Amino acid sequence: MKKNYKILKAFIILYILSTVNCLADYNWKKIGTTTRGDVGYVDLSSIKKVGNEVYYFELLDYVKPTNHGHLSDRAYNQLNCLNLSYRYLKNFFYLEPMANGKVDLINDEVSEWYDTIEGSLGEQIRQFVCNY
């Protein structure tokens, strides 16, 4: 009986540790909040600089679901630090907050280049990433 208990205890510990490792893939840093209450994060471990450009993951956690029912959006972006123009390389949409659960929708079409809106959460995120 004691042997079975030790095996069960070891299994539970290993299961908990494997779950924690799955969550450790991202190092989200909160950058700011919109006036609506949406929160923006950057994955510090994903930031890669190549000349004047930076590639990084950003997470938007919505206070209210979008029209499609999404509560969060994780995007891999390309950013030009000379003028803060950016484009989306790949977007992942989730029905749960903080990019939890299964991916509900993936958009892997590279977007056009956009200008950053002055005073926006996007500007805060992009300035942070360029200065990181």
- How many domains, in total, are found in the chain? 1
Which range of residues forms the domain containing residue 91?
27-131
Q: Considering the domain boundaries, does residue 53 fall inside one?
A: yes
Q: Indicate the pLDDT class of residue 25, thresholds 50, 70 and 90.
A: confident
DSSP-assigned beta bridge partners for residue 79? 54, 86
Nearest to 80 by CA among 60, 53, 58: 53
- Rounded CA-CA distance 80/20 in Å is 34
Rg (CA), the chain: 19
Q: Considering the domain boundaries, does residue 73 fall inside one?
A: yes
Residue type, 103: V
Q: Considering the domain boundaries, does residue 77 fall inside one?
A: yes
pLDDT digits (tens, 9 = 90+) for 105-117: 999 999 999 999 9
Q: Indicate the pLDDT class of residue 86, thresholds 50, 70 and 90.
A: very high
Tokens (6 digits) for 98: 């903080």
Q: Considering the domain boundaries, does residue 18 fall inside one?
A: no
CATH code of the domain covering residue 91 = 2.40.128.710
Nearest to 70 by CA among 91, 90, 94: 94
Q: Considering the domain boundaries, does residue 12 fall inside one?
A: no
Q: Considering the domain boundaries, does residue 98 fall inside one?
A: yes
Q: Considering the domain boundaries, does residue 10 fall inside one?
A: no
Nearest to 25 by CA among 120, 99, 90: 99
pLDDT digits (tens, 9 = 90+) for 34-81: 999 999 999 999 999 999 999 999 999 999 999 999 999 999 999 999
Question: What does the pLDDT read at residue 67?
Answer: 96
